């Protein structure tokens, strides 16, 4: 009854939105006074299917139901678009922002171009580099304490595309404007050097400006030690969220701080962590440990490997087809004995002292498919939990009996996700299809856990915590897609799959090919992607984009109840077949 009522409510909502579209012009995106740095923009909307829709007097193509999503180029600055249907007209202003620093009219540096732009700390002898954007033919230098460092004009440099540009096929580098000046120096001794003073001389006139970031040289014998205070500290390759993630650091991990940049701390093994996720331990010496015996124990559905340590040091995990490798940093091996009896998962454990500060343990596995792992510190003992394969009961009518599957209907509450041409929201169709998929999986014997069963706010962290707590055999996040501003919404469509950990690669590729072939859908592609719902390591975690809300033709399938049922059944069939194959 609940399921039928949900479909009735959906049909009423869909019918009312279609009725609205049949009597009026609706532009869902972009909103008026929209700002973007993209070179083009698409318009998503609908109007009665009879008659023409014009954008700046140009007729646009529409789907059979009257939906549209054409793209238009943008000039720098303000662009005005007039969208017209019969006697109805909408005026939408889109401002294209420049990605290049803008030089001032008179003597001066481009706004926000002085680097470093935040307080930094480095070790003695490390390069400290400065940069500025200034007019051509200028003489630029930096005074740092008692040094004067000349900044030389640089040839035009490559500007890298955003990570999201791979989703539109426009991931080519561009050449940035010249007028960038750079120079570097080193400082031999620990000191607080304050803010650098930038100097610019042009046509006989000189001006100076203080940098925004102070420069400090750390004393190697007095480096701070921090302890990770987050449950899973986010380690990155550089000092901002633009940089790639590394293996998260378990709660309690200790490391020496060898550099700082703004709110970010560089740890002794090379990773960076935000200072909000760590605390300084006064008087602590740089963490170092030896490791001797390595043991194991079997618990329900998993094998735990026990690494007794003197201090909780940084760690990293690397997966490949038949191995899982754990690296301990600031660690020296005294290992002579490792006990590992015949295990359902591990065939052999090898170790190697890679450098004087790094020990690597390689688990050789019996099967290709890995089913998830957890990493934690129990006081100062590192515990690596490797999950065993789920037990399939091989019942003919209930092929998924004994299997727990987690479904995550994307978005919800205030997070609406993408919008279709009628204003219909992604969060709603995510939930409808997830419930249909849940029912199909339950009919096959699976136990299904949902991160939400109604329209409510569930944060990304809460969704990850649910996966970690429930420990499903597989986690599937259900979404419908849209594009960055410069995508071609009218032509881009299809089924897409996203994975992060190697253990999720097999189900991602298998489900992608299964759905594309069975439903004869276009393939958007299979992507490795650092997403919140692909990052959980406790289970193979896959994010599915079932189609494009932004495509006017595919949208008609997305809102069709029969097509929704067909998608749910096909996904359930694909999941069943993958478990049969991956056992």
pLDDT tier at 162 (50, 70, 90 boundaries)? Answer: confident
- pTM value surpassing 0.75: yes
- Report the pLDDT value the prediction gives residue 23, as an integer from 0 to 100: 67
pLDDT in tens, 329-348: 999 999 888 888 888 999 99
CB atoms within 10 A of CB 279: 12
Residue 573 has pLDDT above 80, yes or no: yes
Q: Could you tell me if 132 and 211 are in contact, meaning their C-beta atoms sit under 8 angstroms apart?
A: no
Residue 185 has pLDDT above 80, yes or no: yes
Tell me the DSSP string of 476-521.
EEEEEE---TTS-TTT---EEEEE-SGGGHHHHHHHHHHHHHHHTP
Residue 577 has pLDDT above 80, yes or no: yes
- Between 106 and 533, the higher pLDDT residue: 533
Strands 88-96 and 67-68: unpaired
3-state helix/strand/coil string of 401-437: CCCEEEEEECCECCECCCECCCCCEHHHHHHHHHHHH
Residue 1 has pLDDT above 60, yes or no: no
pLDDT in tens, 64-82: 999 999 999 999 999 999 9
- Cross-strand pairs, 121: 216, 260
- Report the pLDDT value the prediction gives residue 583, as an integer from 0 to 100: 67
pLDDT in tens, 227-270: 999 999 999 999 999 999 999 999 999 999 999 999 999 999 99
The stretch 218-225 carries a mean pLDDT of: 97
Instruction: For residue 566, give Cα distances in angstroms to 212, 244, 541, 557, 570.
Output: 58, 37, 23, 11, 6
For the chain, give the percent of residues with pLDDT over 90: 86
The stretch 400-417 carries a mean pLDDT of: 97
């Amino acid at each position: 009854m609940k399921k039928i009522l949900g479909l009735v409510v959906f049909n009423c909502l869909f019918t009312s939105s279609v009725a609205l579209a049949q009597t009026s012009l609706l532009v869902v995106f972009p909103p008026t006074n929209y700002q973007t740095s993209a070179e083009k923009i698409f318009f998503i909307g609908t109007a009665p299917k009879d008659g023409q829709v014009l954008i700046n007097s140009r007729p646009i193509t529409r789907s059979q139901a009257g939906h549209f999503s054409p793209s238009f180029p943008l000039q720098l600055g303000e662009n005005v678009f007039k969208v017209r249907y019969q006697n109805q007209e909408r005026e939408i202003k889109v401002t294209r922002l420049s990605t290049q620093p803008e030089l001032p009219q008179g003597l001066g540096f481009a706004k926000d171009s002085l680097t470093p732009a935040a307080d930094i700390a480095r070790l003695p002898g490390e390069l400290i580099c400065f940069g500025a954007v200034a007019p051509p033919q200028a003489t630029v230098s930096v005074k740092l304490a008692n040094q004067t460092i000349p900044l030389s004009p640089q040839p035009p440099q490559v500007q890298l595309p955003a990570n999201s540009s791979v989703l539109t096929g426009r991931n080519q580098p561009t050449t940035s404007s010249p007028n960038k000046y750079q120079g570097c120096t080193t400082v031999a001794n620990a000191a607080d050097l304050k803010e650098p003073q930038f100097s610019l001389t042009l046509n006989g006139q000189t001006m100076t400006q203080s940098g925004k970031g102070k420069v400090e040289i750390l004393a190697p014998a007095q480096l701070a030690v921090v302890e990770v205070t987050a449950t899973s500290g986010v380690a990155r390759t550089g000092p901002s969220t633009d940089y790639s993630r590394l293996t998260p650091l378990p709660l309690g991990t200790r490391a020496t701080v060898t550099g700082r940049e703004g709110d970010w701390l560089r740890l002794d093994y090379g990773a960076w962590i935000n200072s909000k996720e760590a605390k300084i331990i006064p008087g602590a010496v740089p963490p170092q440990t030896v490791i001797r015996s390595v043991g194991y124990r079997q618990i329900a559905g998993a094998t735990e490997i026990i690494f007794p340590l003197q201090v909780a040091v940084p760690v990293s995990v690397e997966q490949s087809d038949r191995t899982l490798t754990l690296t301990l940093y600031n660690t020296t091996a005294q290992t002579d004995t490792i006990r590992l009896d015949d295990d359902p998962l591990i065939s052999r454990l090898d170790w190697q002292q890679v450098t004087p500060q790094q020990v690597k343990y390689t688990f050789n596995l019996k099967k290709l498919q890995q089913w998830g792992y957890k990493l934690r510190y129990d006081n100062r003992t590192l515990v690596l939990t490797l999950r065993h394969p789920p037990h399939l009961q091989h019942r003919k009518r209930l092929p998924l009996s004994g299997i727990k599957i987690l479904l995550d209907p994307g978005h919800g509450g205030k997070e609406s996700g993408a919008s279709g041409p009628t204003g219909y929201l992604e969060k709603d169709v995510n939930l409808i299809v997830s419930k249909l998929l849940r029912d199909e999986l339950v009919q096959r014997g699976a136990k299904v856990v949902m991160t939400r069963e109604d329209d409510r706010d569930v944060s990304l962290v809460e969704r990850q915590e649910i996966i970690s707590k429930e420990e499903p055999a597989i986690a599937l996040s259900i979404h419908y897609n849209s594009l960055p501003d410069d995508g071609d919404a009218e032509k881009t469509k299809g089924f897409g799959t996203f994975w992060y950990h190697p253990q999720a690669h097999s189900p991602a590729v298998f489900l992608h090919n299964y759905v594309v072939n069975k439903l004869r859908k276009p393939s958007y592609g299979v992507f490795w992607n650092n997403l919140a719902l692909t990052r959980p390591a406790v289970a193979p975690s896959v994010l599915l984009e079932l189609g494009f809300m932004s495509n006017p033709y595919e949208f008609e399938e997305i809102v069709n109840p029969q097509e929704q049922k067909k998608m749910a059944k096909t996904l359930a069939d694909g999941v069943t077949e993958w478990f049969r194959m991956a056992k």
